[in-house]
Structure 1
Amino acid sequence: MELARANRLHIGIFGKVNSGKSSLINLLTNREVSLISDKEGTTTDSVYKNIEFGALGPVVLMDTPGLGDKTELGFLREKRSKKDLERADIVLIVISDPEISEELEIIKSLKKTPKIIAINKCDILSHEDKQKIYDKLKDLKIKIIEISVKENTGIEKLRSEIIKLKPEEEIQIFEGLAREKDLVLLVMPQDIAAPQKRLILPQAESIRELLDRNCLVMAVKLEEYEDMLENLKRPPNLIVTDSQVFKEVFEKKPKESKLTSFSVLFAKSKGNIKSYMEGVRAFSKINKDSKILIAECCAHAPATEDIGRIKIPKMLKKKFGEDLQVDFQSGAFLPDDISKYDLIIQCGGCMLTRKNILSRIDRADNLQVPITNYGLTIAYFKEILDKIVI
């Protein structure tokens, strides 16, 4: 089965229109991944392509619309292109002339993201133009590679340097929680929101990692939870449940068994659990006049039992009043203006990369907007937050 896009490194290619980004991608991949043309603005929206990239393994290459298109549509494309920076684990900036103000803006905004610069069209750039580029980049500690997509030069060196930028491995889902031969029980309700004939990604990834850790793994629906406990020779070391049934599972679990949820596990492995825990404290300041944003990462049609669209809003309004404003946002990006919110409640983030989720958290933290996640929110309202493991 192909590795999920959310678990692949994302390499973002950024640069001005007609700088050679799409041609470069085709050379880096040895395939015609992106449409190329001498006409400016051929790439009108970000294009994502799953490929194998040497020692980096499975990655997603992001071919973004060019910077510098001054039309109204071009402005919207550029705005979208800059949003894609939130997704990129590695950024490649393609420069093809000495006017690099927009490229410098991107570089300076990427404080934590590994990045590299490719100076393209070196076969036709004058010595003076090259020197102007280097002068403007001299204070930046970034690797610069000279290339020519037309002549196919410098590409192998660039590929090698990109591979060297591989970020640290993501935190594993069960890091510090499950060891070899541990008995782990997964409680997985199969309600109307559950997909037919398959498991949702957090469940599937949890099972796979537990198997890799040589744990003893069992899965059960809530209805058979008590039966399973009665038939076990020893209590589970760890019970993982859907956050929606936290309370029911907690009330019947063995005293020795640790308890957590899939959403909490993903909050830790994909996000910043410290920021999320700080966000929970914001509930003490919420009132009927507050504004809360519920942020989902995947775009799906909400079911009648939807946790983000139905259940969490009911909890919020029951406690803080029906006049409480609760907004929703689905997809990879938060709204442009999040400063108006008193709290953001983020889903587990299984459909996005860790970089994407951390970018959301950093943005909220920088604006001093508290942010937490579904699992921690439900544990708080069920009054068991201090009784689960994180």
Structure 2
Amino acid sequence: MQTIAQSERKVIVFAGLRNAGKSSVMNAVAGQEASIVSPFAGTTTDPVRKAMELASYGPVLLTDTAGLDDEGAVGNLRVSTAQRMLLQADLIVYIIDGSAGYQETDSANLKLIKQSNTPCIGILNKADLPFAPKSAAPFIEHQISYISYSSINGDKNGLVHFIGANLPAESSETLLGGMLHRGDIVIMVVPIDLGAPKGRLIKPQVYAIRESLDGDAIVIVCKDKELRSVISRLNEPPKLIITDSQAVMRVLPDVPKGTQLTTFSILSARFKGDLAVMVDGLKVIPELEDGDTILIAEACTHHEGADDIGRVKIPRWLANFTKKDLKFEFSRGNDFPDTVSQYKLIIHCGACMLTQKAMHNRLRITALTGTPLVNYGVLISYLQGAMPSVIEPFPEAILAWNELPEAAVY
């Protein structure tokens, strides 16, 4: 199960106040000492993750967090990190120490969680001790389903079943989303990506190949310089061509009439995020001025090369296109600003390392301030003149393109 990417696992985050027993509960679910346990408050300082197969429910990523009531300068940083973990959760397991009595902080935390619309269940922990009056009141007040549990003598199978039964159902959405049917021919143009580990394809390429094969489509993989030769050998044109964004202008002239064209990154934008929102984000490009600050957000943490796509190529291409002196800032991995009003534009990677929930939370943050967001594939295709050809398979994206101001449409 360790070969399943974290972005493909349901994320279960254990949260609560210090010494509520979060680590003990997570260890009970994991069936091993994944997180350090001690009687001292504040033992867990940084998020602790454990990938596992939750019996009868599938692959999950368990995440233990620091107490949401941590104090001091360092404690505040721990709380901030824990709150970022909550934004990535598919399910939050909120734990209350039943022996400690009613805590207003628990109620305040649960109110915020409910407002986030993230599924949440409760554990009234330390059932081996006498429960204090009103200890379950925060769960009742915010209509959180909960059970009592003890890490000393509790029913671990019952705990696992309770958590698993409350996991959100698997999404029916897929990367290709019904674009191909049995017998359709799809050509995937895959230049060698210097940013990928040697001998590996990048994730969207792997997923597209697997999904096409699962649907009994005919898959042909080639480099861009081989595309014309491959097409000439076919008895019928392919239904779809998917290319790497950086090769799109080398591929476009060879696309037969009636064949759909898109890019792996645009497929990721549609699958993980909201393609129409990202196309709409292009409207800000003609409005960029000298000194505007742009955030480039990379969900992965690869070592940057001399011609890195996010840190070198995209800033150069955008500056050349706009003829403006732009400022660029960068975020990596799970780091993403809590507020983005200071940015004129956010350029996001394909999000193959993020869950759908995490990417949608980033879109929610940008929507709160009206900050436009595009992803690499949408922006690169726009800058290279491949719009709207690469979004023609997607009616919602074409609608967004047609509604762009005249200055943004070439």
Say yes or no: TM over 0.5: yes
Q: Quick one: which of 225, 228, 238 aligns to 1:223?
A: 225
- Taking a change above 3 Å as real, the CA distance of residues 191 and 76 of structure 1, as seen in their structure-2 partners, is closer
Q: Quick one: which of 172, 175, 181 aligns to 2:174?
A: 172
Deviations 1:175-202 (A, max 9, x none): 1311121101000111533431111111
Identity of aligned residues (%): 35
Q: Quick one: which of 120, 125, 131 aligns to 1:115?
A: 120
Q: Which whole-Å CA distance do the structure 1 matches of 2:193 and 2:157 have between them?
A: 51
SS for the counterpart of 1:102 is helix
Deviations 1:293-321 (A, max 9, x none): 11110011222332211221112101223
- Give 1:35 deviation, angstroms: 1.6
* Structure 2: gaps of 5 or more residues: 395-410
Deviations 1:151-172 (A, max 9, x none): 224x433322322222243320
Deviations 1:240-265 (A, max 9, x none): 00011111111211111101111011
Structure 2 equivalent of residue 285 of structure 1: 287
Structure 1 equivalent of residue 350 of structure 2: 348
Q: Which whole-Å CA distance do the structure 2 matches of 1:306 and 1:61 have between them?
A: 32
Structure 1 equivalent of residue 258 of structure 2: 256
Q: Which whole-Å CA distance do the structure 2 matches of 1:284 and 1:270 have between them?
A: 27
The TM-score, its normalising length taken from structure 1, stands at 0.94
Taking the TM superposition and a 5 Å limit, the aligned residue runs for 1:208-357 are: 208-357=210-359
SS for the counterpart of 1:385 is coil
Q: Which whole-Å CA distance do the structure 1 matches of 2:72 and 2:12 have between them?
A: 27
Structure 2 equivalent of residue 22 of structure 1: 23
* Letter matched to residue 66 of structure 1: G
Structure 2 equivalent of residue 31 of structure 1: 32
Deviations 1:208-251 (A, max 9, x none): 11111111111111121222112222111000000111111112
Q: Which whole-Å CA distance do the structure 2 matches of 1:253 and 1:268 have between them?
A: 22
Give the RMSD, CA atoms, in angstroms: 1.8
Determine if contact 1:193/1:305 at 8 Å carries over to the other structure: no
Deviations 1:267-316 (A, max 9, x none): 11111223212212222322223221111100112223322112211121
Structure 1 equivalent of residue 101 of structure 2: 98
SS for the counterpart of 1:329 is strand
SS for the counterpart of 2:276 is helix
Q: Which whole-Å CA distance do the structure 2 matches of 1:189 and 1:387 have between them?
A: 20
Q: Which whole-Å CA distance do the structure 1 matches of 2:288 and 2:339 have between them?
A: 19
* Letter matched to residue 27 of structure 1: A
Pick which of 254-263 and 312-321 moved more: 312-321
SS for the counterpart of 1:189 is coil
SS for the counterpart of 2:37 is coil
* Letter matched to residue 49 of structure 2: Y
Structure 2 equivalent of residue 65 of structure 1: 66
Determine if contact 2:139/2:146 at 8 Å carries over to the other structure: no
The TM-score, its normalising length taken from structure 2, stands at 0.89
* Structure 1: gaps of 5 or more residues: none
- Taking a change above 3 Å as real, the CA distance of residues 13 and 242 of structure 1, as seen in their structure-2 partners, is same
* Letter matched to residue 151 of structure 1: N
Q: Quick one: which of 356, 359, 370 aligns to 2:372?
A: 370
Q: Which whole-Å CA distance do the structure 1 matches of 2:207 and 2:40 have between them?
A: 44
Q: Which whole-Å CA distance do the structure 2 matches of 1:385 and 1:102 have between them?
A: 50
Pick which of 338-347 and 137-146 moved more: 137-146
Pick which of 359-368 and 326-335 moved more: 326-335
- Give 1:331 deviation, angstroms: 1.1
- Give 1:371 deviation, angstroms: 1.0
Structure 2 equivalent of residue 84 of structure 1: 85
Determine if contact 1:94/1:118 at 8 Å carries over to the other structure: yes
Determine if contact 1:120/1:147 at 8 Å carries over to the other structure: yes
Alignment length (residue pairs): 386
Structure 2 equivalent of residue 11 of structure 1: 12
Taking the TM superposition and a 5 Å limit, the aligned residue runs for 1:32-47 are: 32-47=33-48
Structure 1 equivalent of residue 54 of structure 2: 53
